[in-house]
Amino acid sequence: MKKNFSDIFLQLHISERSGRGVPLITKVYGQEAFEFRENSIVVTIPFTFFSTNDREKVGDKVGDKSAVRLNPTRQRIVEEMRNNPNVTLPQLTSMIGLSYKTIEKNVSYLKKNKIIDRVGSNKNGWWRVL
């Protein structure tokens, strides 16, 4: 059985439906970000490296003028959700070493500020880092 990488990435929650990112990339970086070749399309997205101190200043949303500052706990929660979108709040509690209520409060903050989003149900869903 032959599978496309895009289908595999979609099932692993690494990507969304094909084509959704093109308008977003064009809106932010312009059409110059795309280079069409004979057998491929190359997308170039500029990236600026930040030191640890700079990252704390701009928050976890690089390039966003209204960046929300994330404290170390919230940064760790986002990092764990990036590494494992299926992580549960009880698992985060034991991984980070804080109370369930503290994790719950920080996750609520992240959702409210549109940094993370829950896709699907609490039982069968997964975390999307926005």
* pTM greater than 0.85: no
Residue 58: its pLDDT value, please?
46
Dig out the tokens for 91 from the structure. 């698992």
Cβ neighbours of 125 (radius 10 Å): 14
Averages of pLDDT over runs of 10 residues in the chain (130 residues) are 65 65 76 80 68 48 59 90 90 91 93 90 86
Residue-level pLDDT at 100: 93
Given this model, what pLDDT does residue 16 score?
Answer: 61
